[in-house]
Chain A
Amino acid sequence: MIFDWGFALEILPALLRAGLVTLQCTVVGMSLALVLGLAWALMRRSPRRILAWPATWIVEFVRSTPLLVQVYFLFYVLPEFGLSWSPFVTGALGLGLHYSAYTAEVYRAGIDNVPSGQWEAARALNLGWMETWRSVILPQAVPPMVPALGNYLVGMFKETPILAAITVQELLQTAKLIGAESFRYLEPLTLVGLLFLLVSLTSAQLIGWLESRTAEAAS
């Protein structure tokens, strides 16, 4: 069997629509990961062990277990607590939770990289807590975080096919359905691979450009 271009063209619109779902999962998931990760990072910095200790373990646990199993857990266990959300919501929640463990590390590294002299200087200038973060720490901590967060955004995008396992109608799930209906898996799966490749390579270029810009700004 060889690649049928006519068939590929025929199924392309359906796949592009599914690509939109993939993008939505990624956007919702990443927004969640950015917020949750910040919560973990701040808890870990807390001098109170009752805050720092759970955050450390949550990050470690979430990072070293498979996203697929975490998604299954949410998908089958949440309804037992009366939380019957759609596969899309559950899936995005799973992505967000999983990647929050990674964004937490990015935040932590970014904040730790601000030299302690900066904190001391802010203190010597008698700046308040808010002012210290807003005008001294964050402007130095955030720019180096951007490329790292960008890499995780692309990473999350590439892991969205896992949500096919809980029937989210994203790219891979749609390709599987087309394949099952037409008995032709080659075209839909190849197209899905090409779509991922296109987006990843473009974003890799973009992140490389961002990295060189932040490196320039720092020097």
Chain B
Amino acid sequence: MPPPLDLLPSLLTGLLVTLQITAGGAVVALAASFLAGLGRLSGRRAVRGISRLYVDVFRGTSALVQLFWAFFALPLLGIRLEAVTAGILVLGLNLGSYGSEIVRSAIRNVSRSQYDAARALNLNRRQTLWRIILPQAALRMIPPFGNLFIELLKGTALVSLISLADLTFQGQTLRTSTLRSGEIFALILVLYFLLAQVIARGMRFLESRLAAGRDSGGAA
């Protein structure tokens, strides 16, 4: 292959690790977003307090500091995590703390009258949440979650600093063996850009699918 594409095969193994961390992190982030987002709207004070603490701690400190803490400091407290596990957990929990705000505000923005209507139909709390509120809130969450997904993809580059062989790490390895820094990092940037475009397109597709057959959610 002509340069710089001859570098691609060596980068592909790293790309797979990046995809793996992104996918794992997305699952953790989504779960954490909903747990903490719903938790902050809970009727129980303790649940609200714990959710708030989680969001403040993970949003208030830096993702890389959290990653280093989990990888270097946590073992000293007797908890040893594999680099992959640490990467997925920390990035997922970090982005989840931002995601919880998306969930919270989307739910709070569902019109009050929807709650009243659910009540008039004699639905209980669980039915109201799952059948009336969340389906409407979910649609509004998709664009901000799309942005968050891209932030997660970008964040996965950090795992290269705890010696996980992702795309960025492979770039560094290749740089020391070939010294073609410009080509390597330009190629990697383009790869991340393409992945981000795939995510953005996917989220827009998802949004149009979910929006089909619905009105604009009471905005009119």
Per-residue A-contact encoding for B90-124, CB less than 8 Å = 1, 0 else: 00000000000000000000000000000000000
Docked pose: A61 CA to B186 CA in angstroms: 12
Q: Assess A69 versus B168: contact at CB under 8 Å? Given A64-B150, A159-B62, A185-B72.
A: yes
Contacting B197 at CB < 8 Å: which of A64, A77, A172? A64
User: By the criterion CB–CB under 8 Å, are B77 and A66 in contact?
Assistant: no
Interfacial residues of chain A within 77-114, with CB under 8 A of chain B in the complex: 77, 80
Contact call B196/A192, Cβ cutoff below 8 A:
no
| B25 at the binding interface (Cβ < 8 Å) | no
| CB–CB B61/A68 < 8 A | no
Decide: A72 and B172 in contact? CB cutoff 8 A: yes
Kindly provide the distance from the CB of A178 to the nearest chain B CB, expressed in whole angstroms: 11
Interface on chain B toward A: helix, strand, loop, or mixed SS?
helix
Interface string of A186-200 (1 = CB under 8 A from B): 100110110011001
Question: Which of chain A's residues have a CB closer than 8 A to the CB of B182?
Answer: 73, 76-77, 80
Partner of B154, one of A66, A73, A161, A175: A66
Interface residues on A, range: 35 or more
Of B63-71, B80-88, B205-213, the stretch lying at the interface with chain A is B63-71
Q: Across the two chains, which residue of chain A brings its CB closest to B161?
A: A165
A70 interface hit (Cβ, 8 Å): yes
Q: Is B188 an interface residue when CB atoms closer than 8 A count as contact?
A: yes
A192:B181 contact, CB within 8 angstroms: no
Q: Contact: B186 with A193, CB < 8 Å?
A: no
Q: Please, which residues of chain A bring their CB within 8 A of the CB of B160?
A: 68
Q: A126 — which chain B residues lie within 8 A by C-beta?
A: none
Name the B residues within 8 Å of A179 (CB-CB): 72
Q: State how many angstroms separate the Cβ of B100 from the closest Cβ of chain A.
A: 15
Given contacts A69-B168, A189-B68, A189-B73, contact A158 B185 (CB under 8 A): no
Contact yes or no, A68 B76, CB < 8 A: no
Confirm or deny: A65 has a beta carbon within 8 angstroms of a beta carbon on chain B.
yes
A67 to chain B: closest residue by CB: B154
Cβ–Cβ contact A185 & B189, under 8 A: no
Q: Which residues of A contact B175 (CB under 8 A)?
A: 76
Chain A proximity of B149: nearest CB distance (Å): 11
Nearest-neighbor residue (CB-CB) of B179 within chain A: A76
Q: Does B157 touch A at the CB level, under 8 Å? A: yes
Provide the residues of chain B in CB contact with A68, threshold 8 Å. 157-158, 160-161, 168
- For A159, the chain B residues whose CB sits under 8 A away are 62-64
Contact, CB under 8 Å: A172 / B64: yes
Name the interface residues of B28-73: CB closer than 8 Å to any CB of A.
56-57, 59-66, 68-69, 72-73
Question: Are A186 and B61 in contact, with the CB atoms below 8 A?
Answer: no
Interface pair B154/A197, CB less than 8 Å apart: no
- CB neighbours (8 Å) of A164 from chain B are 64, 161
B185 touches A186 (CB 8 A): no
A201 close to B (CB within 8 Å): yes
Closest-by-CB residue of B relative to A179 is B72
Q: Are B168 and A186 in contact (CB under 8 A)?
A: no
From A63, A67, A69, A193, B69 is in contact (CB under 8 Å) with A193
List B residues 182-198 near A (Cβ within 8 Å).
182, 185-186, 188-189, 192-193, 196-197
Residues of B contacting A165 in the complex (Cβ-Cβ under 8 angstroms):
161
Separation of A27 and B4 alpha carbons in the complex (Å): 36
A145 to chain B, nearest CB (A): 19
Known: A164-B64, A189-B65, A196-B62. A65 touches B72 (CB 8 A): no
If A64-B192, A66-B155, A197-B60 are given as contacts, then 7 extra A-B residue pairs at C-beta distance below 8 Å, sorted by A number, are A1-B77, A63-B150, A66-B154, A73-B182, A171-B65, A185-B73, A185-B76
